[in-house]
Structure 1
Amino acid sequence: VLERHGTITWGAGVRDAYEATIELITRAEEAIAEKKRGRRVFGGPRVPVLDPAARRAAALALAPRLRGRLGHDRRVIVTFDDAGKVTEFTSSLEAPALSQVGPATPDHTIYTKRLPCFVPLERAPESAEVLWSAVEGAIATFVRDYTAYFEAHREPGAELTDPLPRVVLVPGLGMFTAGRDRRMAGIVDDIVHHTIDVIGNASAFGRYVSLTAQDAYDVEYWPLELYKLTLAPPEKELARRIALVTGGGSGIGRAVAKRLAAEGAHVVVGDLDEAGAKKTAEEVTAAVGGGRAIGLPMDVTSETSVRAAFETTVLAYGGLDVLVSNAGIAHSAPVDRMALADWERSFAVNSTGHFLVAREAMRIMKAQDLGGALVFVATKNVMSPGKDFAAYSAAKAAEAQLAKVLALEGAPHAIRSNIVNPDAVFQDSKLWSDDVRRERAAAQGIGVEQLEDFYRKRNLLGARILPEDVAEAVLFLASDRASKTTGCTLTVDGGVKDAFPR
């Protein structure tokens, strides 16, 4: 048995060594089970664990602010875990001391740092503000102590790395873990679960011990490990960012979700068509890796549905950096023959829907205090409305005005708001239904089979506009390349002179 590390077994052959390992581990498991029988783990509860609904509400309020604090200089993905094992440990009598002993094995230090940040709550938090005050104070203490730990063991040439915690333990609530992406935050979470098991089992025999501070420093600041970090490829343009795309189940939304993910973003895909949203998310994860996308049902006309989508985003990734408000529908009819229900449905989706998602995004982005990007997919019809297209053109004009107001309101918080105006994007589009195609062809006095070619020929470049073309414009406005651009309208229409921004 190698202290603070593991076991070494041997035999005449590989099979003998393997069986010796199994026999040794089995003996250890039996001994642990015997010692733990009837024993109160971690000394029993110290702080009452909130009920599931209260934990969820507290996590939703805390996560964006926590992500903003941990990612102030370099964004992180933050995950929340309130599994029974976690809440039992964090809320226990012995957690304040046991959590500060050290990692279960030396290599864990590279992922989790030597210690987690433990929030010293004596009772369940009375409000979100009380909770945040306690967490903020605990983080400040962690940074001070970590810096002192570094300085006490510093060797010539060593430089302080990020002094912020990777793990935050909150009594009564659970834990938050941070990493450069969802995969890394998940690894940290798994390590903490493993460490809780080790601490519980070791404590059944006596006092849990770990590395000395010097040994932990030697692992964390091992020159070879630090050198390996310098060899990592540069991060992609949207690495560490979280984007939510509405109407992502097809057409422009699908292309946008895939393009943002290709540049490093974690993407939440919302669509009224749940199957379509999940298909897009599956395509993203197949291309860039697990954990990088979520597909979910989302009705942008419903406050409840919109709020649920943003809550899923916060609990999965910690917050939001980019909103692409894209969901839309089209209805074509002359004003004098239009039903009130069709007018109202167009405004519900194409105007109010953008308001509902933008409102949720603004709340999260302001709580994070990291800035953000709102990108509204509008239409050429904002600048150049179409005959027999009043419900669509008017509602989309309202969307564009909303985006401009958000540029005014978001600027003090470094939240940018911009518009993309595409035109006639037929490929993979549900907006261009058979009915809409017939109606638009009739309005132009042409046959349905001529419609796509008609739209192509009317733009100056004679270009067919694809979802991927719009996605490139969205990527630019979502990225830091557009960090000094807000309130802007970017056309992707091949050049429709009546729709020039002016």
Structure 2
Amino acid sequence: MTTNTTTAPQELIARSNRLGADPRNTNYAGGNTSAKGSDRDPVTGQDVELLWVKGSGGDLGTLTGSGLAVLRLDRLKALVGTYPGVEREDEMVAAFDFCLHGRGGAAPSIDTAMHGLVDAAHVDHLHPDSGIALATAADGEALTKECFGERVVWVPWRRPGFQLGLDIAAVKQANPQAIGCILGGHGITAWGASSEECERNSLEIIRSAEEFIAERTAALAAAGRHPFGEVVAGREALPRERRRARAAELFPFLRGLASTDAPQVGHFTDSDVVLDFLARGELDRLAELGTSCPDHFLRTKVKPLVLHLPADAPLAELEEELRELHAGYRDDYAAYYERHAAPDSPPMRGADPAIVLVPGVGMFSFGKDKQTARVAGEFYVNAINVMRGAEAISTYAPIEESEKFRIEYWALEEAKLQRMPKPKPLATRIALVTGAASGIGKATAQRLAAEGACVVIADLDLEKAQAAAADIAGPQGTDVAVGVAADVSDEAAVAAALAEAVLAFGGVDLVVNNAGLSISKPLLETTAKDWDLQHDVMAKGSFLVSREAARIMIAQGLGGDIIYISSKNSVFAGPNNIAYSAVKADQAHQVRLLAAELGEHQIRVNGINPDGVVRGSGIFAGGWGAKRAAVYGVPEEELGAYYAQRTLLKREVLPESVANAVFALTAGELDRTTGLHIPVDSGVAAAFLR
């Protein structure tokens, strides 16, 4: 059955975007949709029947035409005759390539057969929490009939693939009255003769399941019961400020544990849904059962790590308990792999948890970047909703562990991982740059983000910091950069800024001490206030930021980088700059001192000595540029060019020039270098290091 119109793909994209925009309908990047129709074959000039289907990867809510795979329907259906059976069904994915129509488009996903073989013009396969709750209930088949009657049919668990497509096609043919089905352990599929009917049927299944679960939940509440049991003393959520302070204390240590096999970025969630689940008596049983929907456990691993000590216990006790739990988790995961691995299984991937649950505090999720970590947490929230729904109507009964392994270590999944682009040089690294709303700081943050780092923009002006972060991150938003307020001369403000960095990304690996100002006066005109202000911001400020960052880096156990943006003036003695040059010399020696002290923790400390960075500089724009231009008798807009003529290379030093040096020191090529000062001054002979 097809729609004889070339508007089918436009209708499909619009429907997909509407469905994907509501998290009640499907999780991020979960599910797929399709439409059948006809179009002109440019070779034969004849109309051909086509299938447009969401390709592998991507998200329904943001789907565009480039995310669709387009296949010849006659060729796809002909694969039924060559299907070698369920034991070799993975071979059919490669066969989809021989059914493609035209050039470009997305790669066909494993669910393509479901969409192509079901005799309906439009098909939706979705992962709504309510549908998965029915799909994972112990008596899900009976409950599906009770909820929907004959309108929705139960399909027992089967791993996604060609055979599942055949199964659902048979269900549709045998049940002409049905609008869709519940896929055991997995999700839902709906169909319709038009795009509108298909969407309407999908929403009917989802909303009916929601209402069914809500009625049962209300009945439990009326009887004084909760799907997750009673609140357990000692597991109640800590007050918000204390909860987040404890999360900031724990996060670097947890991130270090979660990065045992590969560096990870973190995400913290303390929503009411999470805190309620963590507080209740059924937490341990349900967490041990793990998630069920393939999209869930591929992101969250088969189960989380759960802390059992009270959240307000001494930090040292919590860390010791977490260390032991982590070792046990790794042993358990290795045993899981050994139980189910076949000779041709891919090698065991990392054995660290992706989800760590701390009752009273919240959920910590981890991934190869911030988006992956955040989405892992979102998927576990989906899993919590699923478990609550299943426990309200029955008992939560996810798919068997062996089936989870078959999907987690599926050859097709491994191939997808191998196709992923090579990580950028600073992937998984979390950077904090002070004075980063403009000039050298912003250019540095921009370069670090472009090279894969998560960046915290710290500045005295919060609005400017947030604006700079938004500008640097673009559409990726807070997955790439966040802005925080930071008066680096204030000890409490520095601690608060670093805590925000930890809560945003899980820790800190790279700090750039860039915040600064300049007051250029002769000795006799320099006041004690001038001296104190510059030393408070640059000497004291760098010390405070470095000390707080070092605490975090040591807790993580992942090493790190501390970079000081010092100055040519740290080694060059010139007139009329006593306070500025003295404080820059202070910063330069802090580099040497900290390099000597922190080396045992694999924390490298280096400095950069710029000169004459005029363009984009907050210092120069604040009036200093005008004063220096007046001293030299040149227009202020030509000051940078004037400085360049004093150098050996005769080239102006730009903020990006300093950012390039920061990248060179931190990207891994100089991983045996610490205590170094790099001049970025286009060659000032008087400032050569000796």
TM-score after normalising by structure 1: 0.96
2:229 to 43, 51, 57: 43
Aligned counterpart, 1:136:
323
Give CA deviations for 1:92-133 in whole Å, capped at 9, x if unaligned. Answer: 100000111121312222111111112233x44421111112
For residue 156 of structure 1, what is the amino acid of its counterpart?
Answer: P
The 3-state SS of whatever aligns with 1:41 is coil
Q: Distance in 2 between matches of 1:18 and 1:330?
A: 63
Aligned counterpart, 1:215:
403
Shift of 1:271: 1.2
* Kept in 2: contact 1:63–1:319 (CA 8 A): yes
* Kept in 1: contact 2:369–2:428 (CA 8 A): yes
Aligned counterpart, 1:155:
342
* Kept in 2: contact 1:64–1:319 (CA 8 A): yes
Shift of 1:454: 3.2
Greater Cα offset, 82-91 or 40-49: 40-49
The 3-state SS of whatever aligns with 1:482 is coil
Shift of 1:380: 0.3
* Alignment partner of 1:258 is 2:446: yes
Q: Distance in 2 between matches of 1:464 and 1:217?
A: 58
Task: Show the 5 A alignment for 1:151-190.
Answer: 151-158=338-345, 159-190=347-378
Q: Distance in 2 between matches of 1:254 and 1:438?
A: 22
Aligned counterpart, 2:183:
2
Compare relative contact order (CA 8 Å, sep 6+) and give the higher one, 1 or 2: 1
Shift of 1:14: 4.0
Task: Show the 5 A alignment for 1:95-494.
Answer: 95-121=283-309, 123-158=310-345, 159-286=347-474, 290-433=478-621, 435-441=623-629, 446-449=633-636, 451-494=639-682
Shift of 1:16: 3.5
Greater Cα offset, 256-265 or 107-116: 107-116
Q: Distance in 1 between matches of 2:192 and 2:550?
A: 63
Shift of 1:248: 0.6
Greater Cα offset, 305-314 or 431-440: 431-440
Aligned counterpart, 1:32:
213
For residue 253 of structure 1, what is the amino acid of its counterpart?
Answer: G
* Kept in 2: contact 1:183–1:290 (CA 8 A): no
Cα 1:497–1:32 shift into 2, 3 Å: same
* Alignment partner of 1:22 is 2:203: yes
Shift of 1:20: 3.2
CA RMSD of aligned residues (A): 1.7
* Kept in 1: contact 2:261–2:352 (CA 8 A): no
Cα 1:124–1:407 shift into 2, 3 Å: closer
Shift of 1:168: 0.7
Give CA deviations for 1:423-479 in whole Å, capped at 9, x if unaligned. Answer: 000001111146423443465x53455643432111111111111111100111122
Q: Distance in 2 between matches of 1:356 and 1:43?
A: 46
* Kept in 1: contact 2:615–2:640 (CA 8 A): no
Cα 1:495–1:14 shift into 2, 3 Å: closer
Give CA deviations for 1:254-295 in whole Å, capped at 9, x if unaligned. Answer: 110000111000000111233332222112211766510011
The 3-state SS of whatever aligns with 2:393 is coil
Q: Distance in 2 between matches of 1:267 and 1:230?
A: 27
User: Which runs of no fewer than 5 residues in structure 1 stay unpaired?
Assistant: none
Q: Distance in 1 between matches of 2:682 and 2:242?
A: 52
TM-score after normalising by structure 2: 0.70
Cα 1:206–1:378 shift into 2, 3 Å: same
Q: Distance in 2 between matches of 1:211 and 1:368?
A: 35
Q: Distance in 2 between matches of 1:206 and 1:26?
A: 19
Q: Distance in 2 between matches of 1:324 and 1:176?
A: 26
Structure possessing the higher radius of gyration over alpha carbons: 2
Q: Distance in 1 between matches of 2:356 and 2:622?
A: 53
For residue 44 of structure 1, what is the amino acid of its counterpart?
Answer: E
For residue 352 of structure 1, what is the amino acid of its counterpart?
Answer: K
Aligned counterpart, 1:500:
688
Q: Distance in 2 between matches of 1:101 and 1:451?
A: 67
User: Which runs of no fewer than 5 residues in structure 2 stay unpaired?
Assistant: 1-181
Give CA deviations for 1:153-205 in whole Å, capped at 9, x if unaligned. Answer: 01113211101110011122211100111101111111111111111111012
The 3-state SS of whatever aligns with 2:619 is coil
